[in-house]
A and B are shown apart, each in its own frame.
Chain A
Amino acid sequence: MSSQPCHRSGSRLRISLVILLLLWSLAPMLWQLYSSLRTPESLLAGLAGLGGGWTLINYTAVLQANPPFWRYLLNSSVVGALSTLLTLALAIPCAYSLSRRGGLLKVVVGGGLLAAAVFPYVLLFLALLQVARQLGLANNLLALCLPYAGLSLPLAVLLLQAAFADMPVELEENAILERFTLWQRLRWILLPLMAPSVVSTGLLVFLFSWNEFPIALTWLSRSELQTLAPAMARIAGSSVFTVPFGPFAAATVLGSLPLLALLLIFQRQIVAGLTQGAIKG
């Protein structure tokens, strides 16, 4: 913030602030990890029982439940991957043409997309439930990708449109002169250059579909088909354990691992995607 050289006390202050920040961000998750490795008795005993009481039974309980926990992670991965592909397939052409146009259509569509991106989608659940009932789309992981793609499209189109707008028109002009069709231009020129944006957008869409709760809750009633978010709600309401917090913590840890891994591996792309969204939005 200031361009003055950092004083010793300033950097000590900064270090303590950073530690505070890391504590605030990570402590709840670390506590889950700790609780997941403790027996029920030791959880209730507090600090007194710190010596013994370490166990893996919470994880076995969760992984051997009916259905086993990895099933939910698999379902979420399938739905996430497919909806990401579908979203990108729909968003790329739309963003391309939006970025190349001007005028009223762009303003109207852009404004509509912005409004849709901000809208709390939980309010759509009843209409979508009726669609599922009428068209028989319930309990079907493939069908679930349709509303997910629809809900992710606003953000995806806005981000990709900004990325397309960064591509100078001259690039395409040469290709057009050489009789490249639109698909060839996209495939060989534009998309390779835009790869980081496409990856970032895809990651954000993937994260969204893992996080989505109300639509999955109403469209999936069979427990073996549930994705992670409604499965956690069902685990929360279950009554198999007298002291449920060990298994709850194990479920929390297992449910967090895939996305944490994703975040740590793709941190740059995800941050870039969010930042781009902020700046262009």
Chain B
Amino acid sequence: MINFAAVRPWGQLGPGGRRILLAAALGLGLALALLWGSIAWASRPTTVRVLMPAPFADSTAMLVESFNREHPDLRIVVTRGPLETEAVSDLAISSLLLGDSPYDLLLMDVTWTAKYAAAGWLLPLDGWLGPTPLAPLAPGARAGNRIDGTLWRLPMLADMGLLYWRTDLIAAPPQTPAELVAISERLQRQGKVRWGYVWQGRQYEGLSCVFLELLRGFGGNWQSSGEGLGSPAATRAASWLRELIVKGISPAAVANFAEPEALQSFEAGEAAFMRNWPYAWQELQGPASRVAGKVDVTLMVAEVGQPHGATQGSWGLSVLASSPHPAAAVEALKALTGEAGQRRLVQRWGYSPTLTALFDDPALVAERPLLPVLQSALESVVLRPINPGYAQLSDILQRQLSSVITGEVEPALAMERAGLASQQLLEASGRGGGR
């Protein structure tokens, strides 16, 4: 039974009583604040951090912004990495090696996937993306994402090497290397162009891309095991490149050309043929170009009976194994590589998509007339070796090829050295390889 006589009103409480009441009120207030704070803390948006090279960070900015608006509990934050491809990888590796990476997603070049996967830094995507995640992709875009049966990456944009030709000078593009040489010589003799064919001959990754397509056209292949550089087909391909310079079909300066230099030369009307990526098309239709409207693209030349090759370059997103919220990361990945996202990138920036649905979309094709050509090119892609040591293998090839192009070493000897060095590299790294 409550002793009502013992209950005192506030005013008649002694100082001790008041202190106890005050403490209780404070304690209650604190508990409420903590509760409210922790609810707010738990419901704050999950942040998914993505590292992208600078150009892609810029082009996906609006996509990311609209995603963040539509998803109140999930936020994508893009870290704008350096301009150079290699520098972005260096940045990611330096934090991954220390086990202290702040990123959840990484926009990766196709040649990095094997290295990162072998180092154990990527999260296998099987099971996160449904039973057939690669089915909606064009056939050529599927390659390079699944290594040894595990899916490591979902591509966002595709790229492939193309042969650009002048429609005002010839009726049909060459099909074989010999045809290219013959047509170039004829046009040069007639004084219609200064050079026949401009391509990337500088000692860098672009040179490996140029060589790979040609190697396929001569009947060879650069295997994922690293084999193929010591083969007779490789010697033939390297010799053909050297011949272009010796015969004057390509300028000697091509030994220092990257994509911008080759584009500059072709754009000024100096050459009949150019090897470049799809982005060049946009530039060639621009006001500064002397060949606007007089250009078409086709696949790289190949010997009779050999497949025409196009080196595949694609950028795709991978989830890092160290990410604290993989589910959220996969959500972000799906949004960035999904159809809506790719459509906007293609429309706004002229990139090449990876989804078959987009290639078949008539509205999109109307806006970007190059899409059918890109789709057929994507069916003939050839991939650089899917090998964790690709960067070193490519370096070996670049150095030997560069010495062939500048005429310092005979093609046969150079390619043999390339094959031998590749073999030594793979043996010393703990995985055997061949020539």
**Which residues of A, 239-267, contact B by the 8 Å Cβ criterion?**
239-240
Provide the bound-state CA to CA distance between A240 and B82, in Å. 8
Residues of B within 8 A of A42 (CB): none
Interface 1/0 per residue, A216-238 and B, CB below 8 Å: 01110110000000000000011
Residues of A within 8 A of B80 (CB): 239-240
Q: Judging by beta carbons under 8 Å apart, are A222 and B82 in contact?
A: no
Provide the bound-state CA to CA distance between A217 and B87, in Å. 14
Interface residue A129 (Cβ < 8 Å from any Cβ of B): yes
Residues of A within 8 A of B101 (CB): 221
Provide the bound-state CA to CA distance between A237 and B80, in Å. 12
Provide the bound-state CA to CA distance between A239 and B54, in Å. 7
Summarize B's interface: helix, strand, loop or mixed. Answer: loop
Interface residue B97 (Cβ < 8 Å from any Cβ of A): yes
Interface 1/0 per residue, B93-128 and A, CB below 8 Å: 011011111100000000000000000000000000
Q: Judging by beta carbons under 8 Å apart, are B100 and A222 in contact?
A: yes
Interface 1/0 per residue, A119-163 and B, CB below 8 Å: 000000000010011000011000000000000000000000000
Cβ distance A18 to chain B, nearest Cβ, rounded Å: 43
A218-B94, A222-B95 in contact; A237/B100 too (CB < 8 A)?
no
Q: Judging by beta carbons under 8 Å apart, are B98 and A132 in contact?
A: yes
Provide the bound-state CA to CA distance between A136 and B93, in Å. 17
- Total interface residues in chain A, CB < 8 Å: 14
Q: Judging by beta carbons under 8 Å apart, are A221 and B82 in contact?
A: no
Residues of B within 8 A of A139 (CB): 98, 100
Residues of A within 8 A of B97 (CB): 129, 133, 218, 221
Residues of A within 8 A of B95 (CB): 221-222
Measured CB to CB, the nearest residue on chain B to A138 is B98
Residues of B within 8 A of A238 (CB): 82
Cβ distance A221 to chain B, nearest Cβ, rounded Å: 4
Measured CB to CB, the nearest residue on chain B to A132 is B98
Interface 1/0 per residue, B33-68 and A, CB below 8 Å: 000000000000000000000100000000000000
Provide the bound-state CA to CA distance between A139 and B100, in Å. 8
Residues of A within 8 A of B82 (CB): 237-239
- Total interface residues in chain B, CB < 8 Å: 14
Listed residue (A221, A238, A240) with the most chain B CB atoms within 10 angstroms of its CB: A221
Interface residue B408 (Cβ < 8 Å from any Cβ of A): no
Listed residue (B98, B100, B101, B102) with the most chain A CB atoms within 10 angstroms of its CB: B98
Provide the bound-state CA to CA distance between A237 and B98, in Å. 21
Cβ distance A123 to chain B, nearest Cβ, rounded Å: 18
Q: Judging by beta carbons under 8 Å apart, are B83 and A239 in contact?
A: yes
Q: Judging by beta carbons under 8 Å apart, are B99 and A237 in contact?
A: no
Cβ distance A10 to chain B, nearest Cβ, rounded Å: 51
Provide the bound-state CA to CA distance between A217 and B90, in Å. 11
Q: Judging by beta carbons under 8 Å apart, are B83 and A138 in contact?
A: no
A237-B82, A238-B82 in contact; A222/B102 too (CB < 8 A)?
yes
Provide the bound-state CA to CA distance between A222 and B49, in Å. 14
Q: Judging by beta carbons under 8 Å apart, are B87 and A133 in contact?
A: no
Measured CB to CB, the nearest residue on chain A to B102 is A222
Provide the bound-state CA to CA distance between A218 and B95, in Å. 9
Measured CB to CB, the nearest residue on chain B to A129 is B97
Provide the bound-state CA to CA distance between A218 and B100, in Å. 12
Listed residue (A133, A138, A222, A239) with the most chain B CB atoms within 10 angstroms of its CB: A239
Measured CB to CB, the nearest residue on chain A to B94 is A221
Interface residue B84 (Cβ < 8 Å from any Cβ of A): yes
Interface residues of A (CB under 8 A from B): 129, 132-133, 138-139, 217-219, 221-222, 237-240
The 10 closest A-B pairs by CB, nearest first: A239-B83, A221-B95, A138-B98, A239-B54, A237-B82, A221-B94, A237-B87, A221-B98, A139-B100, A239-B82
Interface residues of B (CB under 8 A from A): 54, 80, 82-84, 87, 94-95, 97-102
Known A133-B99, A237-B84, A239-B54; further 19 A-B contacts with Cβ < 8 A: A129-B97, A132-B98, A133-B97, A133-B98, A138-B99, A138-B100, A139-B100, A218-B94, A218-B97, A219-B98, A221-B94, A221-B100, A221-B101, A222-B95, A222-B100, A237-B87, A238-B82, A239-B80, A239-B83
